Every structure is written in structure tokens, then in C-alpha cells.
Chain A
Amino acid sequence: MKIRVHSWFSLIPLLTTFAQAGEVRIAAAASLSEAIMEIATAYQTTHPETKITPVFAGSNVLARQIESGAPIDIFFSADEKTMDGLVKSERIAKDAVVPVLSNALVVVVREDSTLSLQSAEDLAKLQRLSIADPAAVPAGVYAKAWLTGRHLWEKIQPITVGADNVRGALAVVEAGNADAAIVYRTDAAVSRKVKIAFAVPATETPSIVYLAALCKEAPNAAEAKPFAEFLQGEKAADIFRKRGFTVIPPATSKP
């Protein structure tokens, strides 16, 4: 019996090796879900030997997982602050970080909503406003920064309900449990159940920048590197643009 238990345990490292061979794990902001899936599929047609495994969640959640030692090769964050956190905790090298995309905020309501919302002031009149957790999730942090800049945060904060990530905030409006949500332009585009009430002027929000980086302790850096480059390539750029993201040209991305 002792021998059998021992032999089973010796299989564990073997199994994990098998699981990781040819697998690249990318942890990406929830708002990138469809785009990254599409890019992964495109990449795998030319690189069938590599399996791309994406993990989607709020950037802050992913950062916590990477900090705690999750086996992630590439991190794609929806804001700079979260990426900086990982640079500070030495999980990511500062010069590995590349700004790839930018995005914009919009206010959405349910498709069948009769509310007429035109500006931040109008949000104060709602019963409930859905946002991503303003304490840490990038989309929520941006939304809070916008409303704070308009001197409305104090007034609107009591009617907000936070979500774990931006897609959670979107789902609350889809289900009809909030009157409106502040999400990214690209999130509004993936849902048929919501419509854009108005776009938040880019001048009123901090610049919304998505950054990607190879992790220092990437389990599969050899295969992750070409995929990270593919993410910044022309083919990926087309997919990002089609989904409503603004692609930051590589030339200006290098300081």
C-alpha cells in the first residue's frame, strides 16, 4: 500500500509537466474576453503546437493571483496602476511592460429602457447605478475618477453597486437590477441587451490604457514571447479595432 501511494504521488510532477508543455497562459482584463479569444484562435491556426489558455477577471484580481504565485505567462491589464503594482512586487520587469490599447467609458441602459440620460448630472437622479468596484477594478476606478472630476462622486456614490469586474457591472443592468452602468465602449458592443445612453468625453476621464507584459516567472516564456509579440502585431490590431479598442501604435509605445 505504501509503495502504491508513493508511485501515485510520483506521477504528479509528470502530469503537471504534460499540462504545461505547449501551453501559454494569459491573464487578461475581463473587458478583453472576446478579443483575446479571437486572437488566440487566430494565433493557433499558425502555431498549432501552442495552446493558449486565457484567464479573464478584473485586472486587480488577476494581479493578486499572479502575486500569489499563479502560473501565468502574460498579464494584460486594463490600467497602469495594477501593472505598476506587479512591477513593484517584482513579478514583472518594468521594461517588459508595453501599452497596447486604449478604450473609453460609456453609460449604458437596458435595451428597453425609456430613461433619457445625457450627462453625468443625469446619473445622480437614478435609483441605482452599476459600476465595477471603484476601490480596485480598473473600470470602477476610471468611473470614480470621472465622477470625482465632475464633483458628483459624493452624490452618486450612495446609489452605486459595485461588481467584481466590468462585465459583472454590465450583467447587473442586463438583468434589470440597476438603471444604468458605467462600462467600456467595447463592453457595450458585446451585449445585445444594452444600449449606449451617452459616451463619456475622453477629456473628462484619465486616459484608459491597457498594458501587456511577460511575467518574470512565466512557466513557458519560450512560447509566450512570440504570442506576446503577436498581440502587438497587425493581425491582433485588426481584431482589437473591430471590437472597438483603439490600438496604440508600437512606435509611440516605446519611450
Chain B
Amino acid sequence: MTSADGQLILFTLSAAAMAVLVSFPIGIAVAWALARKRWPGKALVETLLTLPLVMPPVATGLILLKLCGRRGPVGGWLHQTFGVEIIFTPKAVVLALAVMSFPLLVRSLRTAFEEIPRDLEEAAATLGKTPRQVFFRVSLPLARRGIAAGIILAFARALGEFGATVMVAGLIPGVTETLPLAIYRSFQTGDDSRAWMLAGVSAAIAFVAVAVSGWFARGKRLL
């Protein structure tokens, strides 16, 4: 393993962490609204949120590429106004990972909220707590294990993302390359030993992530 490989692994881990970090606040809000509230258009939002999970990731990547390209509605505006480029930069990688792991994050968070007995929230409310206090002092602490499991699951999903990333990242080793892209590219350039090494690293990271996620979900006391 060279220092470039080390950097690659570090970049992948931090891009995935960044993606989850960026989507977490929105994810919490959406998950809570889905779990606890009834509102018009809820079914539609649920369906839209599931889309990236079931659609070909490449199709999601294509949409992102068109939206955020220099001539796309979002990317064009950013490029014109701020001179900011998204496509083929690490920002595009974080964006792709965030979009692709978001549905998984919301699903896990939603289940975490749904598993809290409503009585407890209602009891807190009748005892004079504001909805805000109920959320931060009752719901959130009670859902912590499910939330932690969801974060790890979303993080693991982001680490493995390929289809959407390959569309928006381009092949720029050392700049936008993540582990899955590097495995693919190593194979195509004929460097099988590097491909296997990186595949092994990915498997090890995935193993740890799933094990830790399961640990939280089963409720062993760590948090």
C-alpha cells in the first residue's frame, strides 16, 4: 500500500463522513416529520425519498450531472455567480454520496423515532414541556441507538457508492477518486493486485461498519 492509497482511503472515509454530516440535520427533520406528523403530500415525499434507493444509481448520477454541470440550472448559476464548480471536484463526490445515502439515513431514523412509545412523548407534553423540549429531551435521547445505527448504515452506503459518483466525479486520481472508483479503474488499467488490495480494504471497512451498526441496533450499552 502506497501513500497515495492511504490518501485515497482517507479521502473516501472523509467524503462519506462529510456526506452524512451534511444530510444528517435534514434527515432528522424529515424522519421525524414522517414518523410523527400527518401532512398533505406525505406519501409523495415518501416515494420521492425512496427513489434513489431503487433507481439505477447511474440515473441519479445523470440527473446530478445535468443539474450541477457548468451549464445546468444549479451548477450554471453557481458558476456564473460565484465561480464555483461542482462537477469533477470533491464537492460533487460529497453531493453524490449524500444523495445516495440519504434515503437509507431517513429510513433508519424514522424507524428509530417510531419505536419510541408515544406515551412517553405525550406524558412529557402533559407535564408542560414544549414540543421543542419534548423532541430534544425525550424523543432524541430515546432514539439515540437507532440514530447511531442509521448514521453508520448511511456512512457505509456512502463508502460503497459507485454509480452516481462515477458520473459526477470523473477519473481524477488523488482528487475525486473514492475506493470503489479506484477498484474499478485499477482493474481496467490491468492492476489487479491493487484492485484486490483495495477490495480487501473496502470489505474490512464494511465489516466494521455493519458490526458496529448491528451492535447499536441490538441495544448493547455503548451509548
A127 to B187, CA, bound (A): 29
**A133 cross-chain contacts in B, Cβ below 8 A:** 171, 185, 188-189
**A136 cross-chain contacts in B, Cβ below 8 A:** 188-190
Knowing A176-B70, A176-B71, A177-B88 are in contact, say whether A60-B170 is a contact too (CB < 8 A): no
**B20 cross-chain contacts in A, Cβ below 8 A:** none
A1 close to chain B: CB less than 8 A: no
Interface of chain B, main secondary structure: loop
Q: 1/0 per position for B69-99, CB-CB distance to A under 8 A?
A: 1110000000000000101100000000000
Q: Separation in Å of the B183 CB from the closest CB of chain A?
A: 13
A87 close to chain B: CB less than 8 A: no
A31 close to chain B: CB less than 8 A: no
Q: Which residue of B lies closest to A161 (CB)?
A: B170
**A163 cross-chain contacts in B, Cβ below 8 A:** 170-171
Q: Separation in Å of the B78 CB from the closest CB of chain A?
A: 13
A58 close to chain B: CB less than 8 A: yes
Q: Is the CB of B190 within 8 A of A161?
A: no
B105 close to chain A: CB less than 8 A: no
Q: Is the CB of A60 within 8 A of B88?
A: no
Q: Is the CB of A60 within 8 A of B190?
A: yes
CB within 8 A of B71: which of A127, A128, A162, A175?
Answer: A175
**A196 cross-chain contacts in B, Cβ below 8 A:** none
List CB contacts (< 8 Å) of A206-237 with chain B: none
**A60 cross-chain contacts in B, Cβ below 8 A:** 188-190
Knowing A128-B88, A177-B88 are in contact, say whether A162-B172 is a contact too (CB < 8 A): yes
Q: Is the CB of A64 within 8 A of B190?
A: yes
Interface of chain A, main secondary structure: loop
Q: Is the CB of B87 within 8 A of A177?
A: yes
A15 close to chain B: CB less than 8 A: no
Determine the interface band of chain A, counting residues with CB < 8 A from chain B: 20 to 34
CB within 8 A of B187: which of A64, A128, A175, A177?
Answer: A64
B106 close to chain A: CB less than 8 A: no
A117 close to chain B: CB less than 8 A: no
List CB contacts (< 8 Å) of B41-77 with chain A: 65, 69-71
**A164 cross-chain contacts in B, Cβ below 8 A:** 171, 188
**A162 cross-chain contacts in B, Cβ below 8 A:** 170-173
A46 to B188, CA, bound (A): 37
A180 to B149, CA, bound (A): 45
Q: Which residue of A lies closest to B86 (CB)?
A: A177
List CB contacts (< 8 Å) of A147-184 with chain B: 160-164, 172, 175-178
Q: Is the CB of B189 within 8 A of A161?
A: no
A126 close to chain B: CB less than 8 A: no
A85 close to chain B: CB less than 8 A: yes
**A160 cross-chain contacts in B, Cβ below 8 A:** 172
Q: Is the CB of A161 within 8 A of B88?
A: yes
Q: Separation in Å of the B3 CB from the closest CB of chain A?
A: 18
- Residue contacts A-B, CB under 8 angstroms, 11 given: A85-B190, A133-B171, A136-B189, A161-B171, A162-B170, A162-B171, A164-B171, A175-B71, A177-B65, A177-B70, A177-B87
Which residues of A come within 8 Å of B, CB atoms?
58, 60-61, 64, 85, 127-128, 133, 135-136, 160-164, 172, 175-178
Contacts A64-B188, A136-B188, A161-B172 supplied; 17 other A-B pairs, CB < 8 Å: A60-B190, A61-B188, A64-B187, A64-B190, A127-B85, A133-B171, A133-B185, A135-B185, A136-B190, A162-B170, A162-B172, A162-B173, A164-B171, A164-B188, A176-B70, A176-B71, A177-B87
